[in-house]
Amino acid sequence: NGGIENPAFETPCSGLGLSCHAGPARAGAGDAAVSGGHTAAGPGPLPGEGPCGWGPCTPRALQLCNNSEGYLVAYSLLAIFQGIVVNGLINISISTIEKRYELNSSLTGLISASYDIAFCVLSLFVSYFGERGHKPRWLAFSAFMLGLGSLVFSLPHFSSGKYEYGSKLEDTCQTAGTTFANATCSARANSSLQKYLYVFILGQLLLGVAGTPLYTLGTSFIDDSVPKHKASLYIGIGYSMSLLGPAIGYVLGGQLLKVYIDIQIPKRQDTTFKNVDQDGPRWLGAWWIGFLACFFAVWFLIIPFSCFPRHLPGTAKIQAEKISETHDDGSQILVQSNNIGKSFKDFPLALLILLRNPVLMSLIIASSSEALVATGFATFLPKFIENQFGKSTSVSATLGGLVLIPAAALGQIISGTLVSKCKMSCRSIIKFMISTCTVALILNTVFLFAKCGNEPFAGVSETYHGTGTLHNLTAPCNANCRCLRSMYYPVCGSDEVQYFSPCYAGCASYLTNSMEKTFHNCSCVGKPKGENGSEDLLYQAVPGKCPTQCKVLPLFLAFFFFAVIFTFMATTPTTVAILRCVPDKQRSFALGVQLVFLRLLGSIPGPILFGVAIDSSCILWDINECETKGACWVYDNERMAYLLMGISAVCKIITIIFVIMAVYFYKPPRLAKALPRKTSEKISVI
């Protein structure tokens, strides 16, 4: 039974694992040739469809995993670990890294963006050349680089020496020269810490190399190997697993931040009070442990990816039954007739074909706008909660993770399931995205009413009870104390006003009772509010920030949770729509192009833009003895909330506009071109 072979189904195209479909007009134009490759019963297996194993070693037990479900499990595990490191541990460690290595938010935003820079540079080439390569082995390489990047990112901890917590953090008012004697300029030691910025950037670049095959070749391999109506469900599951990683990273990292950075808590020189306060502003947690653990764990994933065959069994049959929904601009015919993508010389033309696809470019710009907001909040949401609602670093990180990650994963699964169950066409998918983005824009208004003002802070937000001036920590009540401006150790006075340090509160002494410290004889502290004031409470202060009076945190978290759900409900449909609207041979390459723009316009400027916005709302910088600006201690909460809401709202409006443009531009293929492959083969015979 010699079958009829259409050039569109030959090995070069099938090697992509993509549904390369030719319409009957093209199929019957003299391109058919007699061959034994396809029988009347259906297409034969693709070259590369084989058993799971390593060369001649193909254990029978491994064949149970040699299917789309087995691949999805391995893909999900790699995506989880990638999420743990890149979007979990790094984001939760940003605040600690800022303080440990004396970096501001703009520089830590650059660290976050370095991942996307590497991703952007390599994405086009990996997706173009990997189309015809062994995609599972590309993912084995991805696992190797992920482990290596995790190791490099943890190295600064081992070479920067032990963290100096501070030997006399009580910093009480000393009219003698003892306190001032410690205020010598040590610019050389301080500046050396900032050099570790380049090590963090190198680690992020390696992690970017690791992520490139995962989200281009790894995703297209799923689309190759499952029926079209199941693709959105499988991709949605894979993407949601990539968001389970950050959830684990946030929770794991939050717990590790409760462990002292050098494991063993140092003994303080002041023997009266040896306890190191975990909630103190100078406490730093063991941020590096998670990276080291992931380095060892992720390298085990090299094993399963190295044993998968080039194509999963049954791929040829699945591809033959798919129906093309490529945007009808003639690109499908051009790509198939010239077999574009076979060599490097086709690269410019292949790229130009995609760049001239108005539907693809509209979807890419829309997703890039959403990525800017998503990466900005992923990086700085814990910091926003910490400063806006007065929570500790570890609590803020945990809350941010518990809200952001489950909501994002839920949005991916819901949208993937809806698209799969409703069997939406390409146009219907894009219309569905308009509705989800509109709801997300409405929920974004949570920043208008769920925000907190600043608590009273002497010398920052108010004067010292009528003395001194705003934005000046020195006042007549502490002018003779010779306080250190570089020693931030906030205390809350009995007047419910926060002070920069016990010294700036004018406290002359302290007592320790049951491991609780109380400062006394504080000349700057006024009478307790709402009381006549007993002598026992007058002029006292306790370590730590004053408890916030703002009670809208639950409201903010609830609204933000649903805003994230509807935001990420557009992610999986965007990927599916991109895979459907481009020529079949260019699907992996289209994802690569999308991710380049997504990084250039979204993920790279996102953390930097959010970092600059947050820095611009700073009202109290850490300034050392050499007058060098470091991290920010206090922010203008209302200004920060308005800035972040403004950036988010503008980006979501841009998203909606370009998704509407995608619907307008999309032209489905004519009925004759959209026939299933088996029908095309029969027409070719005729």
Q: Name the amino acid, one letter, at 582.
A: V
pLDDT of residue 551 exceeding 70, the answer is yes
Across 354-362, average pLDDT:
88
Asked, for residue 7, whether it belongs to a domain, the answer is: no
Tell me which residue of 397, 351, 312, 377 sits closest to 63, measured CA to CA: 312
And the tokens for 229?
């109506």
Q: Are residues 318 and 332 in the same domain?
A: no
pTM of the complete model:
0.69
* Residues 115, 109: Cα–Cα separation, whole Å: 11
Condensed to tens digits (0 to 9), the pLDDT of residues 273-331 reads: 445 666 566 677 888 888 999 998 898 888 888 888 887 877 777 777 666 666 555 55
pLDDT score of 515:
66
pLDDT score of 188:
42
pLDDT score of 537:
62
pLDDT score of 326:
62
Asked, for residue 31, whether it belongs to a domain, the answer is: no
Q: Which comes out higher in pLDDT, residue 423 or 35? A: 423
Asked, for residue 6, whether it belongs to a domain, the answer is: no
Quick one: pLDDT band at residue 531, thresholds 50, 70, 90?
low
**Residue 365 is part of a domain; what is its CATH number?**
1.20.1250.20
Q: Are residues 597 and 532 in the same domain?
A: no
Q: Are residues 256 and 123 in the same domain?
A: yes
Q: What is the mean pLDDT of the chain?
A: 76
* Residues 250, 252: Cα–Cα separation, whole Å: 6
Q: Are residues 436 and 571 in the same domain?
A: yes
* Residues 586, 577: Cα–Cα separation, whole Å: 13
Q: Are residues 518 and 557 in the same domain?
A: no
Question: How many percent of the chain have pLDDT more than 90?
Answer: 8
pLDDT of residue 660 exceeding 90, the answer is yes
Tell me the residue range of the domain where 613 lies: 326-449+550-671
CB atoms within 10 A of CB 626: 13
Length, in residues, of the chain: 686
Q: Are residues 64 and 85 in the same domain?
A: yes
Condensed to tens digits (0 to 9), the pLDDT of residues 442-455 reads: 988 887 777 777 77
CB 504 within 8 A of CB 481: yes
Condensed to tens digits (0 to 9), the pLDDT of residues 109-129 reads: 788 778 878 888 888 888 888
Q: Are residues 464 and 381 in the same domain?
A: no
Tell me how many domains the chain contains.
3
pLDDT score of 470:
78
pLDDT of residue 22 exceeding 60, the answer is no
pLDDT score of 61:
78
Q: Which comes out higher in pLDDT, residue 17 or 301? A: 301
And the tokens for 328?
């009808």
And the tokens for 467?
């003395």
Across 414-431, average pLDDT:
85
Any idea what the Cα angle at residue 606 is, between residues 87 and 409, rounded to 5°? 40
Domain boundary among 547, 577, 609: 547
Asked, for residue 14, whether it belongs to a domain, the answer is: no
Asked, for residue 184, whether it belongs to a domain, the answer is: no
Q: Which comes out higher in pLDDT, residue 90 or 625? A: 90
Q: Are residues 510 and 531 in the same domain?
A: yes
Q: What residues contact 29, with CB distance under 8 A and at least 6 apart? A: none
How many CA atoms within 13 Å lie on the side-chain side of 673? 18
Domain boundary among 501, 525, 547: 547
pLDDT of residue 658 exceeding 90, the answer is yes
pLDDT of residue 18 exceeding 80, the answer is no
Asked, for residue 466, whether it belongs to a domain, the answer is: yes
Asked, for residue 12, whether it belongs to a domain, the answer is: no
pLDDT score of 6:
36
pLDDT score of 362:
92
Domain boundary among 547, 581, 605: 547
Asked, for residue 103, whether it belongs to a domain, the answer is: yes
pLDDT score of 185:
56
Q: Are residues 85 and 222 in the same domain?
A: yes
Q: Are residues 116 and 236 in the same domain?
A: yes
Q: Are residues 91 and 138 in the same domain?
A: yes
pLDDT of residue 625 exceeding 60, the answer is yes
pLDDT score of 1:
36
Helix (H, G, I), strand (E, B) or coil at 623: strand
pLDDT of residue 187 exceeding 70, the answer is no
Element (H, E) at 517: strand 516-522
Q: Are residues 105 and 70 in the same domain?
A: yes
Q: Which comes out higher in pLDDT, residue 6 or 282? A: 282
* Residues 87, 374: Cα–Cα separation, whole Å: 11
Element (H, E) at 507: strand 507-513
Quick one: pLDDT band at residue 514, thresholds 50, 70, 90?
low
* Residues 659, 574: Cα–Cα separation, whole Å: 10
